[in-house]
Amino acid sequence: MRTPRRIGAATLFVFVVWALAQTAAADLITDLGVIPTPFSPNGNGVFDSTAIHYVLGAEADVEVTIRDSEGVELDQYFFPAQGGGEHSVWWNGTVEGSVVPDGEYRIGVEADPLGGPPEEDEVTCVVDTRAPEVIDFEAVPSRFSPDGDGVADSLFVFLLLDHVDPSDQIVLSVIDTSGADVASLLSGTGIDSAAIYWDGRDDGGGVVSDDLYIIELEARDAAGNLTEDGRLIDLDTLPPLLAAYLTDPESDEIRVADTLALTAGRAYDRAGVVSMEISDDGESWEDLAFSSPDSLPAFTVRWAATVACTTCVQTGLDETRTFSVRGRDGSPTATGQGYVNTEATANPVVTFHVVFDVAGPDHVSTVVTDDDAVYRPGETITIESTFDATGYDVTADFSMVDSEFEESAVDVTPLAGGVYRVEYTISLENTFVPVSVAPVTVTATDDFERSDSGVVPVSVVEGGSGGEGLTVDANSFDPTAGEDVTISYGAASDGLIVDVFNMAGVLVRKLDAEGASSVMWNGKNQNGEIVASGVYFLWIRTNDSDNVRKVAVVK
């Protein structure tokens, strides 16, 4: 502090001045305080230092002294000639570079003004670097199922803390794994123990979804010291999540060219998959083998089963059977059996179809939809070909009737009952015109490259109809009964020739009217043998016309 000035003979005068100044000196230090207190010089960035605040009534030299609770001086700071007004001095809770122990400290402020006696005031503060301490923190059971069955319907949370002051803030809450708040369990001050039940509902009263959650503890004292802790819990009310391995992700079927099929899939549940079962009627269930390969994520198993079609062996025909797979987890339930998949659960049974495709495609029929099967360039040929099932890859070959044939120009439309509509427009540049009778082959191929085909004959002619005066006197006849069919073109029938083709496009008989206006077919082939029953095509030509008609041989 300053050394008192010596004024000699003026001592009495000074005394009088000093006496008169006592009233003003009493207000030299005002509003002394420490903010914050307690504080925690632990380097965590929260309340790491405290401000010693005071107001000077006049300019003075200031000395700030740090003492412990017993009054022992620890440190001292000197601030010369501070002006009147507000002042703050920061203390970081250290003495000679070391943090002082937790406890109460006395902060003394002495002000020595010019021309007046010094004044001293004192305030206390608390150093506190110790956060509330967790003695016990439990959340049991770690997996619970609030489904109302009386077993593990709620979560019990027990908390025991030490070093808790009445002002310490204690908060217990439920958060999800992303850190979002779900439910508040406890919020208060000075709480050193708690026992709480959580029923799986959020703060709005709604039941939360199945998921992993964290019971989070935050305990913060007045000095800003924070204790954080958490317990991971699993809310589980659902059976395993199931999937079946299918060749086509957009299909629910497995197709095999055999009477046996290997089926497989996955099952996932955080409570563990306890068992897997398969059924072909939804009533009787058989155990499925399952394993937990290292290649799969945690809590995931792979199941597999071989299923058979016994009727396929007996009949050799294709058959589709429906199978269902369910699982059971390890969650606590009233039955003690865990949760199992049903059609009504949020994770239902997984259902898929197995197509035992033992037989390849089977052709039934192929016909043109027009009565005469005669077409001209630019016209569309429409064919309906029937096979034993839908789902085949169907193609058609028109290369025998169109020199410009391109497979991409064929339009195939699947209809019900295994029927496929095939449409093709004859090109205007077709150099095959006229075409007597040529076969169109329609082929169905399955997923296993097995195929079957049907053939239908068609004709392509030039120009207009050319059918004026043409008559065929019968649509059907029986050659074994002496019946025949007569083809006539009237008087203008120069060069009348008729070629007879069967449905396969094979030439059966060639008839030449030899200048006559008509010609008769007796139902015999070139060898004089009566042809088989069926539909035959008559390619009728003169010097200026070209037509095709159908006739049936019925015996």
**Residues near 128 by beta carbon (within 8 Å), at least 6 away in sequence:** 38, 39, 40, 102, 221, 222, 223, 225
Q: For the residues 534-539, what does the mean pLDDT come to?
A: 86
| Structure token digits, residue 185 | 């369990």
| Structure token digits, residue 109 | 């402020």
pLDDT of residue 493: 60
Main-chain phi, psi angles of 313, to 5 degrees: -65, -40
Of the pLDDT bands very low, low, confident and very high (cuts 50, 70, 90), residue 248 is confident
20 pLDDT above the threshold of 70: no
479 pLDDT above the threshold of 60: yes
Q: Which residue has the tokens 């290292």?
A: 294
pLDDT of residue 342: 95
| Structure token digits, residue 119 | 């004044």
123 shares its domain with 138: no
Domain-embedded: residue 99: yes
Q: Given 320, 340, 356, which residue is the final one in a domain? A: 356
466 pLDDT above the threshold of 70: no
255 shares its domain with 351: yes
Q: Given 104, 127, 150, which residue is the final one in a domain? A: 127
Domain-embedded: residue 144: yes
Task: Check: CB of residue 280 under 8 Å from CB of residue 356.
Answer: no
Rounded Cα distance between 164 and 186, Å, is: 16
Higher pLDDT, 462 or 55: 55
DSSP structure class, residue 207: B
| Structure token digits, residue 394 | 């169907």
81-133 pLDDT tens trace: 999 999 999 999 999 999 999 999 999 999 999 888 999 999 999 999 999 99
408 pLDDT above the threshold of 90: yes
147-181 pLDDT tens trace: 999 999 999 999 999 999 999 999 999 999 999 99
Rounded Cα distance between 48 and 42, Å, is: 6
Rounded Cα distance between 137 and 162, Å, is: 12
Burial classification of residue 367, based on how many CB atoms lie within 10 Å of its CB (0-12 exposed, 13-18 middle, 19 or more buried): middle
Percent of the chain having pLDDT more than 90? 72
> Kindly report the CA angle at 381 between 375 and 385, in degrees rounded to 5?
135
pLDDT of residue 5: 32
Domain-embedded: residue 1: no
210 shares its domain with 245: no
pLDDT of residue 16: 31
446 shares its domain with 491: no
Least confident of 219-223, 261-265, 459-463: 459-463
Domain-embedded: residue 465: no
Of the pLDDT bands very low, low, confident and very high (cuts 50, 70, 90), residue 463 is low
417 pLDDT above the threshold of 80: yes
Domain-embedded: residue 508: yes
DSSP 3-state of 501:
strand
Q: For the residues 291-296, what does the mean pLDDT come to?
A: 93
Of the pLDDT bands very low, low, confident and very high (cuts 50, 70, 90), residue 430 is confident
Domain-embedded: residue 2: no
90-101 pLDDT tens trace: 999 999 999 999
Percent of the chain having pLDDT more than 70? 94
Of the pLDDT bands very low, low, confident and very high (cuts 50, 70, 90), residue 23 is very low
Q: For the residues 253-276, what does the mean pLDDT come to?
A: 94
CATH of the domain at 506: 2.60.40.4070
CATH of the domain at 316: 2.60.40.650
pLDDT of residue 470: 82
250 shares its domain with 222: no
Of the pLDDT bands very low, low, confident and very high (cuts 50, 70, 90), residue 26 is low
1 pLDDT above the threshold of 80: no
150 shares its domain with 206: yes
CATH of the domain at 227: 2.60.40.10
Q: Given 103, 127, 151, which residue is the final one in a domain? A: 127
207 shares its domain with 180: yes
Domain-embedded: residue 3: no
369 shares its domain with 454: yes
Q: Residue 176: which domain range? A: 133-235
pLDDT of residue 7: 30
Main-chain phi, psi angles of 203, to 5 degrees: -65, -20
251 shares its domain with 349: yes
316 pLDDT above the threshold of 80: no
Domain-embedded: residue 106: yes
**Other C-beta atoms lying within 10 Å of the C-beta of residue 186:** 14
pLDDT of residue 464: 47
Rounded Cα distance between 123 and 105, Å, is: 9
Higher pLDDT, 260 or 493: 260
**Other C-beta atoms lying within 10 Å of the C-beta of residue 131:** 22
Least confident of 4-13, 226-235, 323-332, 410-419: 4-13
Q: Which amino acid is at 350?
A: V
123 shares its domain with 226: no
Rounded Cα distance between 272 and 301, Å, is: 9
523 pLDDT above the threshold of 80: yes
* Total H helices, total E strands in the chain: 3, 42
536 shares its domain with 499: yes
448 shares its domain with 514: no
pLDDT of residue 469: 75
Q: How many structural domains compose the chain?
A: 5
pTM over 0.85: no
Mean pLDDT across the chain: 89
320 pLDDT above the threshold of 70: yes
Q: Which amino acid is at 174?
A: V
337-390 pLDDT tens trace: 899 999 999 999 999 999 998 989 999 999 999 877 888 888 999 999 999 988
9 pLDDT above the threshold of 60: no
